[in-house]
Amino acid sequence: MEALGLAEAPRDHPLLYPGVWPRESGLLDGDRLLPLDVLVHTDRVPVLAVGSNASPAQLRHKMAEFGITSPIPMVRARVTGIDVGVSAHVSRLGYVSASPFDAPDVVRELFLTWLDAEQLAVIDASEGVPLPNGNYRRVWLPAPEVRIEVGAQAGARMLLPGVYVYVNRHGVLHNGTDAPRTHPGQRALLTELLVGSARLRELFGVTPEEFCARARADRALCERGTRLFKEEKLVTVSGLERFVRVQQTGSPGIGASLSPPLM
């Protein structure tokens, strides 16, 4: 991955969030991203990545925390109906992450990760799904509410019946109206947020570098920043809340027995 410029993970370099994504579909196998010919894996679960889960380096770290070494197919997809917004919480990894929102007319190039049961349990745990107060819920978005198209670049277009995605329990940040704002990348986002809020600067400093340094692994400060988003009325709904269902352990499993890694 180093040769492809994909080796640095946002968890280690918060201002790089969401990390570098591959240019094409590939098979993540340890430190390698290999060519991938099969784009649909019926024995696995399709999970749409809108943030750092599309970064091979970030995925590699998450799997390594639980000793998972099995390869992960990462498939580039054309997605209609979803855009990439800003999660209304501050992560203890030092950044403000991405979260999907309902956008019926928007078309984006995103990545699908096709996960087996063990891999899905790890990603669920990393997103806080098993926890009553975790940051995300995993929900199923069915077609035709969203359109998931793979293989268009190769001239072998296939439409999926739906996809899982992680929806933020806190909502998303808005753009000054009731509409969600899109995620512009970490440095630009933190710069805008800090310029716009004196209270946020008091907590996290005046530069993106200070924000990341203060937020990293400081649970209390991150929780205070999350509450501040709501207190300053910066939060709106994603529009995907209607898809939220109670997650059932085991079908597919959410790994309730796993201890969630640092989020």
State both tokens at 12: 């280690």
CA dist 232 → 144, 186, 254 (Å): 36, 20, 33
Task: Give the length of the chain.
Answer: 263
Contacts of 230 (CB under 8 A, 6+ apart): 88, 170
pLDDT value, residue 155: 63
Q: Note whether 112 and 44 are within 8 A (CB).
A: no
Q: Note whether 45 and 115 are within 8 A (CB).
A: yes
State both tokens at 138: 């995993």
Contacts of 132 (CB under 8 A, 6+ apart): none
End-to-end, the C-alpha distance of the chain in Å comes to: 23
Q: What is the CA radius of gyration of the chain?
A: 18
Residue with the two structure tokens 């809108």: 50
Question: Residue 164 corresponds to which amino acid?
Answer: Y
Judged against a pLDDT cut of 80, whether residue 251 lies above it is answered with no
**pLDDT band of 83, cuts 50, 70, 90:** very high
Question: Residue 43 corresponds to which amino acid?
Answer: D
Judged against a pLDDT cut of 80, whether residue 84 lies above it is answered with yes
**pLDDT band of 152, cuts 50, 70, 90:** low
Judged against a pLDDT cut of 50, whether residue 34 lies above it is answered with yes
pLDDT value, residue 5: 87
Judged against a pLDDT cut of 70, whether residue 245 lies above it is answered with no
pLDDT tens-digit readout, 115-127: 999 999 999 999 9
State both tokens at 124: 């669920």
Phi/psi of residue 133, each to 5°? Answer: -115, 25
Q: 71: cis peptide before it, omega within 30°?
A: no
pLDDT tens-digit readout, 165-203: 999 999 999 999 989 999 999 999 999 999 999 999 999
